[in-house]
Amino acid sequence: MPPVPLPRDGLVASCSLQLPAAMPVHPPTDTRIHRPVQPRPAQVRVLRLAMPSGLRTACRCPIILSDFPSNHVAFAYEAAANHCFHSLAGLSAGSFSWCKFLVQVLTASSHRIARMLRNLRHILEMIRFSHTLFALPFALLAALMAWRLPPQPPFRLRDAIGILLCMVFARSAAMAFNRLVDRDLDAQNPRTRMRHLPAGILTVRSVAVFAVLSSVAFVASTLLFLPNRLPIFLAVPVLAFLLAYSFTKRLTILAHFWLGSALMLAPVAAWIAVRGTLEAPPLLLGAAVLLWVAGFDIIYACQDYEFDVHAGLHSVPARLGIARSLRVAAACHFGMLVMLMLLPLSYPLFGTIYGVGIALVAVLLVYEHWLVRPDDLDRVNAAFFNVNVVISLGLLFIGAADLLT
């Protein structure tokens, strides 16, 4: 009886006995496009089925799993388990029953794991996890400034980990909550109607659970800063301020500046976490972040000008029009440069390298505004993400180079 081949790209299962011809193994099918899904080749790890020694002797079945899409993880477990199960037909009734139970457990659990991984991937897409790069570099820069300023507090790795965790969890909670609050508006907006909640890719319950868990994790992460108690006391008010942003567009055109204030808290909170005090340097850096974020959020909101006017939402473009809004954004970015130039007055450790960095930031901001025209908003996403990530990461690296050299 010839063996039945298993899929080669990413999954190889070999057993000492052969499969019956009547038990073919088929790869999963993507029901949306009605064709077999091809696994992606990636780094390989080996996982062996846990079996009693007697079963291991009869069926040597290593499972080699690549970085499959989530549906292929389930398929890999199920295919290998079924392969092993059908090769054990000659064993005793007890061993045969054990193996049948193993197949059922592996199949059920693998499908649950696959579903969880798929939902997690969708949630990370929904909250745009990569956009954490906007505020995180400023928090890390403020922490480095706090560690270097005399009298220098001792560096603790758990403080750095705490800053990283607080940033990730706070932003995740705020973004998930924002998607929940705006899901009805997103469904009406042609630009956002395919987001995960309006499109039915994620359920309200799953996003709500994620938001709650992220909020709890944010508050719990502040325990890493002990014996500094200020982060613990400020955690809930800060979280409430972040979540409140989701309602501001219904109330005031200052919603862009509320968002900027929310991200301003990143360097301010990092400084407090390290030094336990509030001083001028993080406030100036935070003010630069506020104006920077408000400026590029106004640019981004120009895409929704017609919808905001029709829906009665408050935004600078809806009130002033696109052309005047872009001038307001330019004024905000000029104010950001002023704040960055004032920072060395209160933090004298910055020198020539930092000054060169401000000049480069100015060039990038000019380029950002050159990309976006009142009659051409096609390149807003490039201006919104690509340029601003370079600005935030660039300031971190330049500031670190100036402080550490």
| Distances 366 to 358, 360, 389, 391 between C-alpha atoms, Å | 12, 10, 15, 12
Considering the segment(s) 127-404 as one domain, its CATH architecture is Orthogonal Bundle (1.10)
Torsion sign over Cα 290, 291, 297, 301 = positive
Residue 233: the pLDDT is: 95
Could you give the maximum distance between any two Cα atoms of the chain, in Å? 83
CA distance 129 to 117: 15
| Distances 72 to 14, 33, 37, 64, 124 between C-alpha atoms, Å | 18, 16, 8, 12, 20
What DSSP designation does 36 have? E
CA distance 152 to 311: 52
C-beta separation of 286 from 265 below 8 A: yes
pLDDT-derived band at 110 (thresholds 50, 70, 90) equals low
Exposure b/e, 93-124, CB count within 10 A at least 16 = b? eebeebbeebbeebbeebbeebeebbbeeebe
* Of 86-95, 132-141, 197-206, 375-384, minimum mean pLDDT range: 86-95
| Distances 172 to 38, 125, 165, 206, 374 between C-alpha atoms, Å | 31, 11, 10, 13, 32
Over residues 234-262, mean pLDDT = 94
Is pTM beyond 0.75? Reply is no
* 29 pLDDT more than 70: no
Residue 117: the pLDDT is: 73
C-beta separation of 365 from 333 below 8 A: yes
Residue 22: the pLDDT is: 40
* 23 pLDDT more than 80: no
Residue 52: the pLDDT is: 42
What's the CA angle centered on 317, arms 312 and 323, to 5 degrees? 145
* Of 145-149, 152-156, 242-246, 374-378, minimum mean pLDDT range: 374-378
pLDDT-derived band at 76 (thresholds 50, 70, 90) equals low
Over residues 219-223, mean pLDDT = 96
* 324 pLDDT more than 80: yes
CA distance 167 to 266: 7
Determine what percent of the chain is predicted with pLDDT higher than 90.
48
Tell me the β-bridge partners of 29. Answer: 36
Over residues 214-230, mean pLDDT = 95
Range ranked top by mean pLDDT from 22-36, 61-75, 160-174? 160-174
CA-CA-CA-CA dihedral for 383, 389, 393, 398, to nearest 10: 0
Residue 383: the pLDDT is: 67
Domain with CATH 1.10.357.140 in the chain: 127-404
Q: What stretch of H or E contains 63?
A: strand 62-65
* Of 40-54, 68-82, 327-341, minimum mean pLDDT range: 40-54
* 47 pLDDT more than 60: no
Output the six-digit token pair for 211. Answer: 């938001």
The per-residue pLDDT for range 169-192, each reduced to its tens digit, is: 999 999 999 999 999 998 898 888
CA distance 123 to 176: 8
Range ranked top by mean pLDDT from 44-58, 104-118, 199-213? 199-213
Q: Do the bridges between strand 45-48 and strand 29-30 make them parallel or antiparallel, or are there none, so unpaired?
A: unpaired
Exposure b/e, 145-163, CB count within 10 A at least 16 = b? bbbbbeeeeeeeeebbebb
Residue 127: the pLDDT is: 73
The per-residue pLDDT for range 290-314, each reduced to its tens digit, is: 999 999 999 988 888 888 998 889 8
* Of 107-111, 123-127, 256-260, minimum mean pLDDT range: 107-111
User: In the predicted model, what is the mean pLDDT of the chain?
Assistant: 78
CA distance 152 to 275: 9
Residue 70: the pLDDT is: 43
